[in-house]
Amino acid sequence: MPAPLLPLPAVITAEDLVGKIKQYFRSKDLDLVWLAYEVAESAHRGQTRKSGEPYITHPLAVAYILASLRIDLPIVIAALLHDVPEDTAVTLEEIEKNFGADVASMIRGITKLGKLKYRGVERYIENLRKMFVAMAEDVRVMIIKFADRVHNLLTLEALEEEKRYRVALESLEIFAPIANRLGMGEFKGLLEDLSFPWVYPKEYERVKRLRDELLSGSEAVIESVLNRLREELTASGIRYLDIHGRKKQLYSFYQKLLKKEGETEKIYDIIALRIIVPDVSDCYAALGVLHKLWRPLKGRIKDYIAQPKPNGYQSLHTTVFCANGQVVEFQIRTLAMHQEAEYGVAAHWHYDEGGRRLPSRDIGWAKELARIQQEVLVSASALEELKVDFFRSRIFVFTPAGDVIDLPEDATPVDFAYHIHSEVGNTCTGTRVNDQLVGLDTLLKSGDVVEIITDKNRRGPSPDWLKIAKTHVARSHIKSGLKRSPLDGWIKLILPKRKRV
Ligand code: MN
């Protein structure tokens, strides 16, 4: 079973990395790994990270993360060397001479991506374009880039606040969706949960508390459910390789809360129990056993084996009522499907427990994705569509000074005003969108230039604004502006209609 990638050891040495590789790579010949380490170490010698640590700790950690994924050697070697041509005197030509064209071309791809900056919508689209090109050329570049980003997020503390925010926001809004599109569930979850506290610190704390609250006491129930299930599977002669539970990741829980308007009883997968079985027929047999044991919830049985998700994800999902009304989601899949779900496109370069590469699986969808993107990138208008498709739920609007404010779809000038500053919101009396006076309930579109008209004598928000504000920031400011009761916390806001089941 794939082991969790985090936490990383506090100190990672070249020996640790080689030890990790030996767990899955049978060949004794790891000379190239040692050489790559030595080249990187001497090239980065004297350089330090913002934390003060020697620079080499970074490429070592990136390579270690990838080795934990049991990934093919050239990718690990490229990871060790990934910052060398950009930041040191050693050139790409020298790397190519020592490590061959394949490793050099991956590093070229990473260097091309360069040190991207998140600076408003123009650069944002430019970043996306660069990433699609890199991905279309060689998806391994993105795999290294994700590991690189995970380590950067882990060491974000050392950066200045503004840079910290930018890196986290970019990871959340660009890297995570791409990892998701590539079917790399593990990386998507890591990128999101590592960025979440830096981008939305308050929401992070609250969501974490809420999840813990909802989960408290469920461990015993889950344990008895699992025992009952194991018994029944064995009695029915159904083989299984592993059964485990996983907590919903925080950012994905947060997104669900927003979607379900805080009605936690409509979120069934805060804990999901996974059954990993040898083959597809066992999946359906296990589903039958589950439904014989416990009553399934209507409309919650999903056959992603017969109809995989667009990113290639396969599993059977069902939600059942277990003992004393506890509602539990089950995900049933084969080991191959499980590895695909965790690693996505990276599974193609992954070694199994026996130290062999997995049988070459169909990664047609990934190639197709890359091909479509390459075609789409030809025209700028198509690029807009791509952006819309990727970030369907966000819009970008401008202040009269040209600053980009990003808001959820259907946001109104009231949301915009509170995003500028709570005082701007509280003193807002009207708005001009693209130089036209319009109502405060106007739905904003990407590209709109929004100007807020304020009056210092205004005494606070209008209760009607609660009906037109879509963002939590705006709604919570409006609420506290309306009545400054200490009970008007955020939990109440996101749980407006909480009912008992
Ligand atoms: Mn790096």
Query: What DSSP state is assigned to residue 6?
Result: -
Q: How far is the CA of 117 from the centre of ligand 1 (A)?
A: 14
Q: How many CA atoms lie within 13 A of 238 on its CB side?
A: 26
Q: Partners of 228 in the beta sheet?
A: none
The Å distance, Cα 114 to ligand 1 centre, comes to 9
**Catalytic-residue membership of 87:** yes
Q: How far is the CA of 383 from the centre of ligand 1 (A)?
A: 27
> How many CA atoms lie less than 13 Å away from 120 in the CB half-sphere?
9
What are the DSSP calls for 24-49, one per residue? T---S--HHHHHHHHHHHHHHTT-B-
pLDDT along the chain (501 residues), means of 10: 79 95 83 96 95 95 93 94 93 95 92 61 60 71 93 93 88 84 85 96 94 84 89 94 90 90 80 92 93 90 86 88 83 90 74 58 48 44 41 66 73 93 92 91 85 88 91 85 53 38 34
Residue boundaries of the structural domains of the chain: 14-198, 208-349, 393-494
Residue type for 482, please? L
Q: For position 377, what pLDDT does the model report?
A: 43
**Residues β-bridged to residue 438:** 431
CATH number belonging to domain 393-494? 3.10.20.30
Torsion of CA 287, 288, 290, 293, to 10 degrees: 180
Task: Give ion ligand 1 contacts, CB < 5 A.
Answer: 83, 148
**Which helix (H) or strand (E) is 328 found in, with range?**
strand 327-334
Radius of gyration of the chain (CA): 25
Q: How far is the CA of 83 from the centre of ligand 1 (A)?
A: 5
At 415, list the tokens.
Answer: 């949301």
User: CA–CA separation, 206 vs 212, rounded Å?
Assistant: 10
pLDDT at res. 385: 42
CA gap 431, 470 in Å, rounded: 17
Cα-flanking dihedrals φ and ψ of residue 453, to 5°?
-95, 125
User: How far is ligand 1, taken at its centre, from the CA of residue 40, in Å?
Assistant: 12
Question: How far is Cα of residue 239 from the mean position of the Cα atoms in its chain?
Answer: 32
C-alpha 107 – ligand 1 centre gap (Å): 11
Residues 1 and 137: their CA atoms lie apart, in Å, by 30
Structure tokens at 401: 């000074």
**What tokens appear for 106 in the block?**
């991956």
Pick the closest to residue 92 from 111, 115, 77 (CA basis): 111
Distances from the Cα of 119 to the Cαs of 123, 156, 173, in angstroms?
6, 18, 13
Catalytic residue among 16, 87, 96, 352: 87
Look at residue 153 in the predicted model and tell me its pLDDT. Answer: 96
Question: Which position has the token pair 């609660």?
Answer: 466
Torsion sign over Cα 193, 199, 201, 205: negative
Cα 148 to ligand 1 centroid, rounded to whole Å? 5
Q: Is 400 exposed, middle or buried (0-12, 13-18, 19+ CB in 10 A)?
A: exposed
The yes-or-no answer to whether 14-198 and 208-349 have a common fold is: no
14-198 CATH choice from 1.10.10.10, 3.40.50.720, 1.10.3210.10, 1.20.58.60: 1.10.3210.10
Who contacts 353 (Cβ-Cβ below 8 Å, separation ≥6)?
A: 24
Q: How far is the CA of 147 from the centre of ligand 1 (A)?
A: 9
Cα 370 to middle of ligand 1, angstroms = 24
* pLDDT of 353: 62
Residues 397, 405 contacting (CB under 8 angstroms): yes
> In angstroms, what is the span from residue 255 Cα to ligand 1's centroid?
29
* 382: helix, strand or coil: helix
| Predicted TM-score (pTM) above 0.75 | no
15, 16, 83, 86: the active-site residue:
86
Token representation of residue 168: 């986290």
Q: CA separation (Å) from 39 to 74, 342, 384?
A: 15, 32, 42
CATH code for 208-349? 3.30.460.10
